[in-house]
Amino acid sequence: MAAARTRIAIGIIALAAILAARSTSGQPAPPDPALAARIAAADLAAGEVLASQCTICHTLTAGGPTLIGPNLYDIVGAPIARTAGYAYSPPMASLGAAGGTWTVELLDAFLASPATTVVGTRMGFGGLASETDRANLIGWLRTQSVAPAEMPGLAAVDPTTPVYEAYQADRGRNYYGDSCGLCHGPTAGGDTAPPLKGPVFQANWNGRTVWELFNYTRRNMPADAPGGLEDERIARILAYILQENGYEAGPMPFRVDRASLEQLILRF
């Protein structure tokens, strides 16, 4: 009887996942409005902190290897049990074979209680009780993709847009004055050295990666002591430069990470 009840539960879960993943038109169904609102308001920086807990078992970067669990890059909207060769639990494998996908609804339920959402899962995580925490984590996971999942009710995400937090630009303004202002002008408009904002700067750097700008600054600045700036100081200076060139602060920090910075494209 217990085995029969388990099989029934698995069948119900599989059906629910498939129905949640598709509308009658074959397109992704709109998320539950309350869940969509929570994800739309997600604190992505808080989500990234939560995601760091996942790295005990999972990698989160593109092409990352399988650890105890499979890679989670581009997981939102992805097919369930997508990683070839990974030993998924039978119920998880069944969901994948049935065409289930990781909709935001299923992710929300699974993150709340893996053991009761997919009965028989090998996921040892106990779950996140907070709706806000789950929304923050799902919101951040959604940004970890070359082409983040588009879902009705949720704003489009462009993972190539440079990002920084307001405090970084505020501190960067002071660092800029100390390290760059004498040559590039007090507000980055140029002096004995070229401007770091406006048409000339933008024409030179348009279409190039933030990593190129970061690495150029790292190797060549300041002029009287090339290579003398710490990476965190450079990050804050560049946050200030982004602000001066029209980029608005957001919930994600400017990170000193080559793989991340290589994905960010300067567009003016």
When pLDDT is cut at 50, 70 and 90, the band that residue 30 belongs to is: low
188 and 97 assigned to the same domain: no
Written as six digits, the tokens of 164 are 């920084």
9 and 138 assigned to the same domain: yes
When pLDDT is cut at 50, 70 and 90, the band that residue 119 belongs to is: very high
Instruction: For residue range 91-113, list pLDDT tens digits in order.
Output: 999 999 999 999 999 999 999 99
The dihedral formed by the CA atoms of 12, 15, 36 and 30, expressed in degrees to the nearest 10: -150
Q: What's the half-sphere exposure (Cβ side, CA atoms, 13 Å) at 200?
A: 8
121 and 180 assigned to the same domain: no
How far, in Å, CA of 77 to CA of 24, rounded? 17
24 and 138 assigned to the same domain: yes
The dihedral formed by the CA atoms of 88, 93, 95 and 97, expressed in degrees to the nearest 10: 150
CB 166 within 8 A of CB 249: yes
For the whole prediction, is pTM greater than 0.75? no
When pLDDT is cut at 50, 70 and 90, the band that residue 21 belongs to is: very low
Q: Is 79 helix (H, G, I), strand (E, B) or coil?
A: strand
20 and 138 assigned to the same domain: yes
103 and 185 assigned to the same domain: no
Find the CATH number of the domain harbouring 127.
Answer: 1.10.760.10
State how many domains the chain has: 2
Q: Is residue 159 part of a domain?
A: no
Which residue range is the domain that position 194 belongs to?
166-262
**Which residues sit opposite 79 in a β-bridge?**
101
